[in-house]
């Protein structure tokens, strides 16, 4: 009887631990975050992180200073309909130019280039928001061409909710509660979370476009 009660208590404690959310953005500062790769502008405004496009730079990423392995991540975002963005997860960057083998082929990464899994934010007519793109590595891992429900779930010009679940090799995403991507991949088992502002090259007319994120939180799974 005592052993049964002990096991029950331990299971309850574990469930409570996994139900605990950690707030990644305090709504006031960029504490716990740092910019990498490009020079897009990030600021805090009205309780949200706002990223703004800048001409003459590549993709930019505001990264957490901590790495995460298995987790449930949630955030709300709103994006200008003319731009592209994303939320990186299990992503990384190197301090110096580095060459690694990916799928048996050599891949060179410039110093500070963020790469890894990305929850796509795509307000274009393609409507792939919630699909998973492998930034700077293998390209699309799970697009939404066969998931019409997810493509229709995105709300143009409004706040949308992203959810990412990583458990071992299992990766699942949701957009406004609708299942989007669901697949297995084990190339990267942990990494940073990052907020992307896509590069616009020399298109000065595309400068100043904004994407915002708020209510950013994570639940680490043990």
In the chain, domain spans: 23-220
pLDDT by 10s per residue, the chain, length 222: 455 444 444 444 444 445 799 999 999 999 999 999 989 999 999 999 999 988 888 899 999 999 999 999 999 999 999 999 999 999 999 999 999 999 889 999 999 999 999 999 999 999 999 999 999 999 999 999 999 999 999 999 999 999 999 999 999 999 999 999 999 999 999 999 999 998 766 676 667 789 999 999 999 998
Task: Give the CATH number of domain 23-220.
Answer: 2.60.120.560
Q: Is 127 exposed, middle or buried (0-12, 13-18, 19+ CB in 10 A)?
A: buried
SS3 209: coil
Q: Please work out, in degrees rounded to the nearest 5, the angle formed at the alpha carbon of residue 11 by the alpha carbons of 5 and 13.
A: 100
For residue 2, the model assigns a pLDDT of 52
Which alpha helices (H) appear in the chain, and where do they start and end?
Answer: 2-18, 148-153
pLDDT number for residue 103: 86
> What confidence score (pLDDT) does residue 205 get?
64
């Amino acid at each position: 009887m005592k052993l049964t009660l002990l096991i029950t208590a331990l299971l309850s404690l574990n469930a409570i631990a996994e139900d605990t959310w950690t707030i990644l953005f305090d709504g006031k500062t960029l504490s716990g975050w740092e910019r990498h790769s490009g020079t897009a502008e990030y600021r805090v405004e009205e309780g949200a992180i706002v990223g703004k496009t800048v001409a003459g730079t590549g993709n930019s990423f505001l990264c957490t200073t901590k790495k995460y392995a298995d987790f449930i991540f949630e955030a709300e975002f709103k994006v200008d309909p003319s731009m592209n963005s994303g939320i990186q997860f299990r992503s990384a960057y190197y301090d110096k130019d580095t060459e690694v083998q990916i799928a048996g082929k050599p891949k060179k990464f410039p110093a500070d280039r963020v790469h890894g899994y990305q929850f796509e934010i795509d307000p274009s007519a393609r409507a792939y928001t919630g699909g998973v793109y492998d930034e700077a590595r293998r390209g699309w891992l799970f697009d939404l061409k066969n998931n019409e429900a997810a493509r229709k779930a995105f709300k143009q010009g409004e706040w949308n909710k992203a959810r990412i679940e990583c458990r071992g090799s299992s990766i699942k995403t949701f957009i406004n509660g609708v299942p989007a991507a669901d697949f297995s991949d084990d190339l990267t088992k942990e990494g940073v979370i990052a907020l992307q502002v896509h590069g616009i090259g020399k298109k000065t007319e595309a400068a100043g476009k904004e994407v915002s994120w708020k209510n950013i939180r994570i639940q680490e799974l043990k």
